[in-house]
Amino acid sequence: MIAVWKHELSNHFHSLTAYIFSAFLLAFVGLGAMLYNIQSAVANFEYVLSFVCLGFVVIIPILTMKVIAEERRQKTDQLLYSLPITTSQIIIGKYLALLVVYLVPLVIISFYPLIFSKFGEVYLLTSYGSMFAFFMMGAALMAIGTFISSLTDNLGFAAGIAIPVILFNYYSVSLAEYVSSTAIGSAVALIVIAVILGFVIRHLTRNDKLAFGVGAVLSIAIAGLYVMDSSGFEGLLPDIMTKLSLFERFYKFVNGVFDLTGIVYYVTVIVFFLFLSVQSLEKRRYN
C-alpha cells in the first residue's frame, strides 16, 4: 500500500495535475479572500470556503479522472493485478495520495485566517471547523471521482461523468424545490430510479436475472409501501435530494455549527465509494 501511495504521489507531482489542482484551488481561495475579507472587510474566512465550493466541480475531476482510468489505458493495471498486493491496498494507496495532493494547498490556505487575525477579529474556531469540513467534503468528492475513474479507460469520459455528477450534487438542493413533492410523484421517481439501478447492474454484471430481480423487487417494494402508507411519500423525493447533498451539509459548518452527523455522512460516502471502486477493480478480473 505504501509503495502504491508513494508511486501515485510522485506520479501526481510528475504530471501537471497536482499543480493545476493546487493552483486553481489557491487562486479560487485567493479571489474569494480578496472579495469577502479584504474588499468587503468581512472577518469570516468560512464564507470564502463556501464561495470556493463550486470550484470543486472542475478541479476534483481534473485530479481524479486519471487515477484508475489511466492505469487501464496504458495497461499497467495488469501489473497491479500481478503484484502481491490486494485491490483494496491499491485503491487506498491511490486515495491517500489524492488526499495528500489535496492537503498541500490546504496547508497554505490554513495560514490565511491567522494572517487575517493580525488585522482584526477573526472567528478562528468557525474558520478551522469549516476548513476541516471543507477537507472532508473534498475527500468525499474525491472518493466519488475515484469510483467514476474506475469505470472506464477513457480519461475524458471519467472527467465528463464526474463533472455533471458533482454539479448535480451541488445544485440538488435548489433542484429539490422544483421536483414534485406529492406522494405519487416521489413514488414514481423512486420506481424510475429502481429501474435505472437495474439497468446499471445489468451493465456492470451482465447478469439479466440479477438486474431484473433487483429492479423488480425494489419497484414492487416501493409500490407496496406506497399502497400501504402513501403519506410517508409526501415530499420524500426533495427530502432525499437535500439529504444526499454533500454541499448542503458543509454550509452548516460555515454557519458555525460543527455538525458531527455531517462528518459521519462524509466518512460514509468515502467508505462506500472506495468500496465500490475496489469492487469495480475486482470485477475486471471476472470478465
Partner 1 sequence: MITVEHLTKCYGDFMAVSDLSFEIEEGHVYGFLGPNGAGKSTTMNIMTGCLSATDGTVRIDGYDIFEEPQMAKKLMGYLPEQPPLYMNETPVEYLKFVGAAKGLKGMELAQQVEEVIDQTKIGSVRHKLISALSKGYKQRVGIAQALLGNPKVIILDEPTVGLDPIQIIEIRDLIRQLGESHTVILSSHILSEVQAICEKVLIIARGRLVAFDTPENLEKLRQSSNGIDFMVEALPNEVEEILETLAVYEEYTLDEVETGLLKVHIKADTDDARSVCRQLFFAFAEKQKAIVEMTSKKANLEDVFIELTEGETTSGLSVIEKTDIAGGMDAADETAVHSLYETEDIPDGSDLEESEVEKE
Q: Give dist(CA 51, CA 105) in Å, integer.
A: 16
- Per-residue binding letters, 33-52, with partner 1 (x by CB under 8 A): --------------------
Are 1 and 92 spatial neighbours (Cβ–Cβ below 8 Å)? yes
Q: How far is the CB of 73 from partner 1 (least distance, A)?
A: 10
Q: Looking at 4-12, 156-164, 170-178, 240-248, which segment touches partner 1 (CB under 8 A)? A: 4-12
Show the cell assigned to 64: 481524479
Count of beta carbons in the 10 Å neighbourhood of residue 244: 16
Q: Give dist(CA 96, CA 75) in Å, integer.
A: 22
Q: How far is the CB of 105 from partner 1 (least distance, A)?
A: 22
Count of beta carbons in the 10 Å neighbourhood of residue 35: 14
The number of residues that bind partner 1 (CB under 8 A) is: 25
Residue 227 to residues 175, 194, 248, 284: CA-CA distances in angstroms? 27, 17, 32, 41
Q: How far is the CB of 277 from partner 1 (least distance, A)?
A: 18
Interhelix angle for 183-205 vs 260-283, to 10°? 30
Q: How far is the CB of 14 from partner 1 (least distance, A)?
A: 5
Site for partner 1 contains 4 (CB under 8 A): yes
Site for partner 1 in 6-25 (CB under 8 A): 6-7, 10-11, 14-15
Residues 178, 227, 261, 286: which binds partner 1 (CB under 8 A)? Answer: 286
Are 215 and 198 spatial neighbours (Cβ–Cβ below 8 Å)? yes
Are 8 and 97 spatial neighbours (Cβ–Cβ below 8 Å)? yes
Considering just the CA atoms, what is the radius of gyration of the chain in Å?
Answer: 21
Site for partner 1 in 162-191 (CB under 8 A): none
Q: How far is the CB of 17 from partner 1 (least distance, A)?
A: 11
Nearer to partner 1, 14 or 209 (CB): 14
Site for partner 1 in 208-227 (CB under 8 A): none
Q: How far is the CB of 26 from partner 1 (least distance, A)?
A: 24
Nearer to partner 1, 207 or 268 (CB): 207
State the DSSP code for 179.
S
> At 219, which amino acid appears?
S
Site for partner 1 in 65-94 (CB under 8 A): 74-79, 81-86
Residues 120, 164, 180, 206: which binds partner 1 (CB under 8 A)? Answer: 206
Nearer to partner 1, 83 or 221 (CB): 83
Interhelix angle for 124-149 vs 56-64, to 10°? 50
State the DSSP code for 255.
T
Residues at the site binding partner 1, with contacts judged by CB under 8 A: 2-4, 6-7, 10-11, 14-15, 74-79, 81-86, 206, 285-287
